[in-house]
Structure 1
Amino acid sequence: MKAVSVVTIKKELQHRSSEELMELCLRLSKFKKENKELLTYLLFESHNESDYIKTVKQELDKQFESINTDSYFYIKKSVRKILRNIKKYARYSLKKETEVELLLYFCNRLKDFEPSIKWNVTLTNIYERQILNIKKIVATLHEDLQYDYNIELEELVD
């Protein structure tokens, strides 16, 4: 089965009643964990972005604490998984400020991580790539926010 375009879906949804829309949303939430997470964000957390960021940071802390530090191989796998989760959470929000906050937090945690990432080229590259991503995103934000985030970036780079 081939999926139709978003435009076609939007047109079809305009012809449905609110009860039918609710049924469709509930059915969607049963299929993928990401659909349920997105609905949870939209319904319960989108109105208070700072609480959402705080909750995600707590989740990231748990993930960092559970990293197996026996070898850099396991550390790399875990760091990539954490980064995937950050991207997913930022995609739910669609706010650049949220993405910057989460990536800055990730880089801070990674910089202070033991054993040090300086001894592994891959982890250092992941860190530097995220710094570049943050710089790109910050460049698109309002000047006041740019100033604040650039101060935090300078602290990370030093």
Structure 2
Amino acid sequence: MQIESIVTIKKELKHLSKDELLDLCLKLGKFKKENKAFLTYLLFQSDDENAYIESVKTTLDELFEGINSRNYFFMKKTIRKILRQIKIYSKYSSEKSTEVELLLYFCERIEKLRPSIFDNNTLTNLYDRQVAMIEKKISVLHEDLQFDYNQKLESLKGYGY
């Protein structure tokens, strides 16, 4: 099967009726959990980005509470799972600051974990990569946002060393 371009799909969608479009959206939502989550974001949460960020933070809090901290192997697995969720939630939003906000929150939460992630090289490297990624993403934002986020980022740098 050849996948058509967005332009071709857009042209084809213009020829469909309202009911046919509704049916296609519902089928898309049933097909995959991510599609359903994205439709939920577009329909209910895209107009209030701050509320969306807070709801994602609440979800992340629940995931952090479920971390098995008895050994680093299980901590690594769960932390990577949380990071994948952040990437998915960030992908839904059209605002670049959303991902920065969620990654900063992730780093703040990961610092507070016990036993400390800084006693494990793999988790320390993961943390450092996220801080570097945040720096890169901050550099493309508006200057006012850069200033605010850089202040938060400076408080994260060098933590635990």
Q: Which consecutive unaligned segments of at least 5 residues does structure 1 have?
A: none
| Aligned counterparts of 2:86 and 2:141: Cα–Cα separation in 1 | 19
Q: Deviations over 1:5-61 (max 9, x none)?
A: 222211111111121111100011011000000000000000111110000000000
**TM-score normalised over the length of structure 1:** 0.97
Tell me what 1:17 maps to.
17
Q: Secondary structure at the match of 1:30?
A: helix
Number of aligned residue pairs: give it.
158
Tell me what 1:100 maps to.
100
Q: Deviations over 1:47-81 (max 9, x none)?
A: 11111000000000000010111211110000000
Q: Secondary structure at the match of 2:113?
A: coil
Q: Deviations over 1:76-118 (max 9, x none)?
A: 0000000000000000012111111000000000111111011
Tell me what 1:111 maps to.
111
Tell me what 1:54 maps to.
54
Q: Secondary structure at the match of 1:154?
A: helix
Partner amino acid for 2:26?
L
Tell me what 1:133 maps to.
133
Q: Secondary structure at the match of 1:115?
A: coil
Partner amino acid for 2:75?
I
Tell me what 1:154 maps to.
154
Q: Secondary structure at the match of 1:113?
A: coil
| Aligned counterparts of 1:8 and 1:125: Cα–Cα separation in 2 | 43
| Aligned counterparts of 2:8 and 2:57: Cα–Cα separation in 1 | 37
1:58-97 aligned at under 5 Å gives the runs 58-97=58-97
| Aligned counterparts of 2:113 and 2:95: Cα–Cα separation in 1 | 27
| Aligned counterparts of 1:112 and 1:96: Cα–Cα separation in 2 | 26
| Aligned counterparts of 1:64 and 1:26: Cα–Cα separation in 2 | 32
| Aligned counterparts of 1:76 and 1:154: Cα–Cα separation in 2 | 24
Report which stretch shifted further, 11-20 or 96-105.
Answer: 11-20
State, as a whole percentage, how many aligned pairs show the same letter.
59
